[in-house]
Structures are given as C-alpha cells and as structure tokens.
Copies of this chain bind each other. A is one copy, B any other.
Amino acid sequence: MNNFIIREAVKEDCKEIRRLIQELADFEKMPNGPQIDTKVLEDDGFNSEHPIFGCIVAEVDGENKEMIGYALYFIAYSTWMGKAIYLEDIYVSPQFRSQGLGSKLFDTIAKKGLELGCCRMDFRVLNWNPANEFYARKGAVDMTRLEGWHHYSLNKANMEKLTSKTTV
C-alpha cells in the first residue's frame, strides 16, 4: 500500500506535469492536443510575481516520489459573483485510481478557491467521461444540461482574421 503526498506544485515539477498533461490528452482521445512545452508552463505558472495558473500535484511518498496526478487551476471572473476558481485539468494516472486521490485533489482546489476569495468553482467535462458521476457527488451541477450553456472556442487563426479588420 502506497502513501501519497498532495502538495502545491513548484517550478521544478513542470516537466512531470507536462508528462501528465499528455496522459490526460491521451485519455480524452486527443493525443495531438497539447502543444505546450515545459518552459511555457514554467514561465506562466512560476516565473512571474503574478502567475497565470496554479497547480496541486499528487505523488507517491518514498525515495522516487513519482508524480501520479495533478489539478491545475486559474482565477476566472463572474459578473454575477466576482472571483471564481476554474479547474482546468484534474487527472490521476490509471494505476493509482480508486484510492481517493482525485477526490483529494478536487477538494484541495475547492479549498484553494475559498482561500482566494472565490464564490464558485467552474470546470468542463466531456459528456462521455465517467467522472461525471464523481462531480455530481461533489455537488457540482452540469450547467449545460440544466440551463443549456454551450462552450465555444475561437482559434488563433480566426482571432487574427477578425483583428485584421479591427479599426479600434
């Protein structure tokens, strides 16, 4: 039986976080998704006085301290309630599941959000992801199902197209 450590990520963790980001993308059936490199994660999360994201990691306690999970968040803003914590990714490697680690990571992000003065915790889930039930047990509400919210994305090429016509 392994013991696990849940702790705040530091800059030196970025290589391992990048490895787990890839594992998550593979699970989501989008292996070509992650374009980010370790250096960008280091810069955006750890090299500035005001980092753009924060991260909690889970590792096996012991000599090697293998990283086996992470939860990455940023501060979002709701014009209804103010600051919200946005859980961008939460992931535990398959062989370490069903031991409560995902739950601990999730609860730690909720705690972090409260500490940061957030009134809500938001995230997105693929509709076929079995974790849907886990989130419901946590008290989270599927706002797409309940109110019909759809998530939209505009890629960089299309942002550039619009911008070329912008006069302001």
> Which of B114, B132, B163 sits near A163, CB closer than 8 Å?
B114
Secondary structure at the A interface, as helix, strand, loop or mixed, is mixed
CA distance A44 to B166 in the complex (A): 28
Chain A 106-129: CB-based contact to B (< 8 A → 1; otherwise 0): 111011011000111111111110
| Oligomer copy total | 2
A143 to chain B, nearest CB (A): 5
Chain B residue at minimum C-beta to C-beta distance from A21: B79
Whether, in the assembled complex, A168 has its beta carbon less than 8 Å from a beta carbon of chain B, the answer is yes
CA of A119 to CA of B33 in the docked complex: distance in angstroms?
A: 13
Contact between chains at A77 and B78 (CB < 8 Å): no
A26 at the interface (CB under 8 A from B): no
Contacts of A36 in B (CB 8 A): 78-82
Q: Is the CB of B50 within 8 A of A122?
A: no
Contacts of A135 in B (CB 8 A): 152
Find A111's partner among B6, B121, B125, B166 (CB 8 Å cutoff): B166
Q: Is the CB of A106 within 8 A of B144?
A: no
Residue of B nearest to A85 (CB): B159
In the complex, which residues of chain B have a beta carbon less than 8 angstroms from the beta carbon of A16? none
| Across-interface contacts of A34 in B (CB, < 8 A) | 79-80
A144 to chain B, nearest CB (A): 4
Is A154 a contact of B83 with CB atoms below 8 Å? no
Within 8 A of B (CB), among A72-101: 72, 74-83, 86, 88-89
The list of the 10 closest CB pairs from A to B, nearest first, reads A139-B158, A127-B148, A144-B150, A121-B154, A110-B159, A53-B77, A140-B154, A107-B162, A111-B163, A50-B50
